[in-house]
Structure 1
Amino acid sequence: MRHDEPESPPAPDAEHPAQVRRILRLFRPYRGRLALVGLLVAASSLVSVISPFLLREVLDVALPQGRTGLLSLLALGMLAAAVINGVFGVLQTFLSTTVGQRVMHDLRTAVYARLQAMPLAFFTRTRTGEVQSRIANDIGGMQATVTSTATSLVSNITSVVAAVVAMLALDWRLTVLSLLLLPAFVAVSRRVGRERKKITSQRQQQMATMAAMVTESLSVSGILLGRTMGRAGSLTRAFAQESEQLVGLEVRADMAGRWRMATIGVVMAAMPAVIYWAAGIALHGGPGISLGTLVAFVSLQQGLFRPAVSLLATGVQMQTSVALFQRIFEYLDLPADITEPERPVRLEKVRGEVRFEQVTFHYDPQGQAADRPTLSGIDLTVPAGSSLAVVGPTGSGKSTLGHLVPRLYDVTAGRVLIDGTDVRDLDFATLAHAVGVVSQETYLFHASVADNLRFAKPGASDEELEQAARAAQIHDRIAALPDGYDTVVGERGHRFSGGERQRLAIARTILRDPPVLILDEATSALDTRTEHAVQQAIDALAEGRTTITIAHRLSTVRHADQIVVLDAGRIAEQGTHEQLLADDGQYAALVRRDARSAVHV
């Protein structure tokens, strides 16, 4: 199995200010809600620091003086502070989670839309599992960051600031002593964050590799291939090896800096003892510190250290999550070659004339000097309603020529026109309506027959489905199924034979009713009897349309209005079946080859 990666631009430094600003821009549409979250967090932090002052009054005034009324009021105040904090916490969690989920939705949609705009070549060189992993694992892995980390960051910063101010109000000397070690703690946490970010990138790539293996080997086709080749055991061992590597990365990610962070926790937990010692020994002989002030200060100190430790952990989490943002931004930054023009042309009625004007195409435009182009200097006109057959040896560029009409690729040079308009100038809706494609590789979704047919025309009625199926000569087969048109076809349509899947694809295209039809070796993988049945369906589909047939077997193209023979990306011959036979060139040789093959069969 190949482990190809998609081409992507070099990733910028994750800690570069521009990268951080880009992440923050994701939250811009929700700044109103975030402002409300900030207010709730600030209010909650202010309420939190009130309790230690109330506690000081309890210890220094209410209890020593026996003022039960004051004691009751102070106790109610402490209870009210807890209730208010609880309400504020629920509200801010709801708002921050909603914002975070909306940001994740925006990211998922943006990545999916970008991938929809990528050229076909991108998907031929990228494993499906890698694409799925970016959308599922990477964006899913950012959930904690975008839903709770941002709120935690604001909450902890506010709590730390409020606690420091309150501690200074109680005793500035104890405050200075409490804050001496914080700079060292911050430096340690940043180092831990960098370690985890590096490991996270490796872990996500490993998860993408495993996702690709699962997608490939546990599909219907993968299971069939693995079992018939006797490779089930080796596939399991290969998966186990990849999973073992993931185990190691997960353990490393979880344990990175764990001892250092644990040391920070121990030091912070020991700080109350230091404060008591300092109050009793180091500050002995100075201005007195009341018991209530000392207890309130320690309470505030703990209130400081908890958010401080959480803040350090949040910093580590954010550094780790930036690696996930980088992987998503790599996909969002991929250049989309197939884009709709700024001023798209919409054709109200498409006649169906197709013209190739000096068309040259190269799969790798940057490598043109080293490799010959796939197509070169193609000049060809297919009048509206006529049929063109494209034949030639394997690798001559037949399928590529067909792919240029629906704009699955853009030409390197020259133009492809429909009714005199460059396909690059047409809006996507017009192009999709104008050109239908039936290929050798028929793709059906894991859904009902009706849903697969309606993919071409979502609003099609049951009568329209039946008419299309009858035209494609597949209605009787569908009607014989227990659930008829509601029958689930299975993954990639494996419930049906190859010929039946092909006729379902033809029925789907009939529903679409395109003026231009591309038949890309639609019957080359079928046996002769099935090919005959499918060809009848194709003939019904092609009637009255501009049809370009990419053919390997020449028996299906004899009656085409014109036949083009491609050789090494150029037009070697062009004419009708009779004319080309009379010329006794490459086409005649291909016909004789087919005749010999038929005799051997």
Structure 2
Amino acid sequence: MHSIKQTFAHDTWVMPYLRKYKWLLILVLFLGMMTFLSAAALMFNSGYLISEAARRPDSIIYIYVPVVLARAFGVARPVFRYSERLTSHNWVLRIVSDFRKKLYQAVEVKASAIKQTHQTGDILSILADDIDHIENLYLRTVFPIVIGWLLYLIIVIGVGVFSWPVALLMALLLGVIVLVMPLLSVAVNGAREFKQKQIQSNFYTSLTDEVLGLTDWVISGRYHDFMALQNKPIKQIAALRRKDHFFQWWRGFGVQFFFMLAVLTLLIWSGTFFTASKGMANWIAAFALTLFPIVEPFLEVSQGASEWPVYQQSIERVNQLSNDQPKQIAQTKLSEPVNEISVDHVTFSYPGDDKQILKNVSLQIKRGEKIALLGPSGTGKSTLLKLLLGDQAPTTGTVTINGTPVSELQDQRAQLFGVLDQQPYLFDTSVMNNIRLGNLNATDEQVKAAVEAVELKPLIESLPDGYDTEVQESGSRFSGGERQRLSLARILLQDAPIIVLDEPTVSLDPITERELLDTVFKVLHDKTIIWVTHHLAGINHVDQVRFLEDGGFDMQGTPRALYQDEPRFRKLYELDEGKV
């Protein structure tokens, strides 16, 4: 109970919508109650009708009313059931519509900073699973539990009108079903459901990251290691589901057992209570049969309760996403050209982690300068890029453009930075539309000029549909080098003064890589370029080289000076040139 209160203490996703659509919720619960009450009334009436008809009454009038009521309750049950399903799904669809809008707003507000607190797989998990889980919270937990408890009270009070001792016994027997078993389900199976959801969520996140880095797995020849990583969580989930099915079988058996005891209690009591006359004996079957349609919601109470830990985690995740909004920073605008980018004594570590990714790093980049950032994986190259772009804020120190903190220039980000990374995204539309994303106001002639500049004009114009050729999903119509050139054409149209190259040639063969780099530095000759790379192919295009290692710059200088003065650089260069 404490965990439930804690979950909803600062909730902005579930409780507000319960209040917003409270009258529709009341209607759903009312229709659900009427569905099962109609079914119970049908069985009650049928029990009486069968008993009365078996006595062969002297007049049809004795069974006429029960016959009419049987027809009425028989029609009422499916009508109420259909209305309840229709209304409950209307309720859920309205809420889900609000959820998706709220989720979009939560992500949109912190789009540029969302990777500070969430991995790609986390966001996909929220989009794919958590909203559906909250939807199921109503359909599979809230509605069945509330309806089951209401029916429980009605049965106990109804029997109590005739006999309070029997009502107390019924309260105990049915209480095991609607109170004890749900708590047992949460304690035993709920923990298992929670663990399964954790494994599934982590699997979602890790699989997303591994698929995004699939090229590295293939290149390294670690296919079996990749498959082993996927098989482990799948086997864990399968084992948990087997235990879940085993527990559900025994729980269902327990519900049926205690329900049978409740039916026998009613049968024995009614057989004792209604024996004063033959007419009163007609009520024995009526009372005994009443409970049978009620078993369905009683079964759903325990199942719905056992799923609560999964829903609880989903509620906490979406609340965390919307509550952990980035700190709002007053924005300004550069009115003059970008003359200098300055990283001044920057130290950075991720929140909650004592490890320093960058340690007192300083870097000045002048207008039009080309700089290469090199270093082994995990040394902070990507983190430094995030700081330069404003995706992260330094723990200490400053990152500025013309003296203005980059965090205050995020509204102008698209006008300042162009980014070409390892896997630039191309949409499933025409070549013309994909390139025009760099500048929506660009004319067809400007798009074609950009294509010509990146040396794709012969290829595009040789295609049957030319610039109207569909690139297909993720640009699969073209090779890796061609996709990079299309993205480079997009950057040319964007015409940003600062270009970030985040290992754009990592998946290309050496010949294509060299040709692409020659093109990149030729068409972007007047831009400031910050190039992150893992080796030295094409390094002679840059003015400065900085080696990041252990959070700081280990080597720095021009390519020529480093080749002459640093044996390590000279060895790496000759390896890339194939001279060693």
**Shorter-chain TM-score range:** 0.7 to 0.9
Are 1:536 and 2:528 an aligned pair? no
SS for the counterpart of 1:415 is strand
- Structure 2 residue aligned with 1:403, among 360, 373, 386? 386
Measure, in 2, the Cα distance between the counterparts of 1:235 and 1:556: 33
2: CA distance, partners of 1:219 / 1:322: 30
CA contact (8 A) 1:51 1:81 kept: yes
Q: Does 1:360 align with 2:346?
A: yes
Instruction: State the Cα deviation string for residues 77-108 of structure 1 (Å, max 9, x = none).
Output: 44334433433322221222233345556666
Equivalent residues of 1:435, 1:517 under 8 A apart: yes
Question: Out of 68, 72, 75, which is 1:80 matched to?
Answer: 72
Q: 1:531-575 CA deviation, whole Å, 9 max, x = no partner?
A: 3454334432453x4443456548556675xx4645655578988
Provide structure 1 residue ranges, at least 5 long, that are not aligned to the other structure: 1-12
Deviations 1:389-447 (A, max 9, x none): 245655775554433221232212222223543222344x42234211123x1333573
For 1:158 and 1:400, locate their aligned partners in 2 and report how far apart those are by CA, in whole Å.
56
**Deviation readout 1:282-340 (Å, 9 max, x if unpaired):** x599899812333332243445x426xx2353244223232343156247537998x65
Among 162, 177, 180, which residue is 1:187 paired with?
A: 180
Structure 2 partner of 1:30:
21
How far apart are residue 161 of structure 1 and its match? 3.1
The one of 136, 140, 145 equivalent to 2:137 is 145
* Aligned pairs (5 A) from 1:335-346: 341-342=327-328, 344-345=330-331
CA shift in 2, pair 1:86/1:582, >3 Å: closer
Does residue 201 of structure 2 align to residue 197 of structure 1? no
State the identity as a percent: 20
- Cα distance change of structure 1 residues 256 and 558 upon mapping to structure 2, 3 Å threshold: closer
Give the aligned residue type for 1:516: I
The corresponding residue for 2:398 is 415
Counterpart for residue 469 of structure 1: 451
Q: For 2:215 and 2:568, locate their aligned partners in 1 and report how far apart those are by CA, in whole Å.
A: 38
Aligned twin of 2:366: 382
Q: Provide the rounded CA distance (Å) in 2 between the counterparts of 1:392 and 1:373.
A: 15
Which of 34-43 and 580-589 deviates more? 580-589
Which residue identity does 2:75 align to in structure 1?
V
Cα 1:329–1:140 change in 2 (3 A) is: same
Letter in 2 for 1:40: L
Displacement of 1:262 = 0.8
In structure 2, C-alpha distance between the alignment counterparts of 1:420 and 1:359, rounded to whole Å: 14
Distance 1:514 1:361 in 2: 27
Mapped pair 1:159 → 2:151: yes
Q: Could you tell me which amino acid in structure 2 is paired with residue 342 of structure 1?
A: Q
Give the AA of the match of 1:376: N
Among 273, 283, 293, the residue aligned to 1:293: 283
User: Is 2:425 the partner of 1:444?
Assistant: yes
Q: Give the superposition deviation at 1:197.
A: 0.9
Alignment of 1:296-375 (within 5 A): 296-303=286-293, 305-306=294-295, 310-311=297-298, 313-326=300-313, 329-330=316-317, 332-333=319-320, 341-342=327-328, 344-345=330-331, 347=333, 351-356=337-342, 358-364=344-350, 374-375=358-359
- Secondary structure of 1:600's counterpart equals coil
Q: Which moved more, 1:100-109 or 1:160-169?
A: 100-109
C-alpha distance in structure 1 between counterparts of 2:214 and 2:567, whole Å: 38
Q: Which amino acid aligns with 1:300?
A: T
Report the AA paired with residue 200 of structure 1: E
Per mean C-alpha deviation after superposition, the further-off stretch among 146-155 and 48-57 is 48-57
The alpha-carbon deviation at position 251 of structure 1 amounts to 1.4
Contact 2:428 2:470 in 1 (8 A): yes
Deviation at 1:506, TM superposition (A): 0.9
The question of 1:17 aligning with 2:5 is answered yes
Which amino acid letter does the alignment assign opposite residue 361 of structure 1?
T
How far, CA to CA, are the matches of 1:420 and 1:286 in structure 2?
A: 99
Q: 1:138 to 1:75 in 2, by over 3 A?
A: same
- Is the 1:554–1:591 Cα contact (8 Å) retained in structure 2? no
Aligned with residue 253 of structure 1, among 214, 225, 244: 244
Three-state SS of the structure 2 residue aligned to 1:351 is: coil
Which shows bigger deviation, 173-182 or 283-292? 283-292
Aligned partner of 1:9 in structure 2 is none
- Please, which runs of 5 or more residues in structure 2 have no aligned partner? none
CA shift, 1:353, in A, is 4.0
- Note the alpha carbon deviations across 1:11-61, whole angstroms, 9 max, x for none: xx9844222564742643433432332343455566566657766986899
Instruction: Say which SS state the counterpart of residue 414 (structure 1) adopts.
Output: strand
Q: Counterparts of 1:597 and 1:165 in 2: how far apart (Å)?
A: 85
Residues 145 and 304, structure 2, Cα contact 8 Å, conserved in 1: no
* TM-score relative to the length of structure 1: 0.75
CA contact (8 A) 1:104 1:146 kept: no
Q: 1:435 to 1:199 in 2, by over 3 A?
A: same
Determine if the alignment matches structure 1 residue 424 to structure 2 residue 430.
no
Q: Which residue of 2 aligns with 1:501?
A: 483
Structure 1 CA distance, aligned partners of 2:546 and 2:336? 27
What residue number does 1:600 align with?
579
Distance in 1, matches of 2:553 and 2:168, equals 85
CA 1:382/1:401 → structure 2, altered by over 3 Å: closer, same or farther? farther
Count of aligned pairs: 567
Length-normalised TM-score, structure 2: 0.77
Provide Cα deviations, 1:133-187, integer angstroms capped at 9, x if missing partner: 5543565456543334322233333333334444344555654443342333432
Instruction: From the superposition, tell whether residues 159 and 266 of structure 1 become closer, same or farther in structure 2 (CA, over 3 Å).
Output: same
Distance in 2, matches of 1:170 and 1:460, equals 84
The one-letter amino acid of 2:240's match is L
Q: Deviations over 1:447-505 (max 9, x none)?
A: 34636546556787765543432332223323434565565657765654443232122
Moved more, 396-405 or 505-514: 396-405
Contact 1:445/1:492 (8 A) holds in 2: yes
> How far apart in 2 are the matches of 1:212 and 1:559?
37
Cα distance between partner residues in 1 of 2:393 and 2:195: 35
Point out the more displaced range, 327-336 or 162-171.
327-336
Deviates more, 1:458-467 or 1:80-89: 458-467
Aligned 8 A contact 2:427 2:473 in 1 = yes
Asked whether the equivalents of residues 356 and 416 of structure 1 are also in contact (C-alpha less than 8 Å), the reply is yes
- Check whether the contact 2:48–2:285 (CA below 8 A) recurs between aligned residues: no
Match for residue 277 of structure 1?
A: 268
Q: Per the alignment, do residues 359 and 503 of structure 1 end up closer, same or farther by CA in structure 2, a change over 3 Å counting?
A: farther
Secondary structure in 2 aligned to 1:333? Answer: helix
Code of the residue aligned with 1:468 in structure 2: it is A
Between 498-507 and 474-483, the greater mean CA deviation after superposition: 474-483
Distance 1:220 1:373 in 2: 21
Q: For 2:361 and 2:204, locate their aligned partners in 1 and report how far apart those are by CA, in whole Å.
A: 42
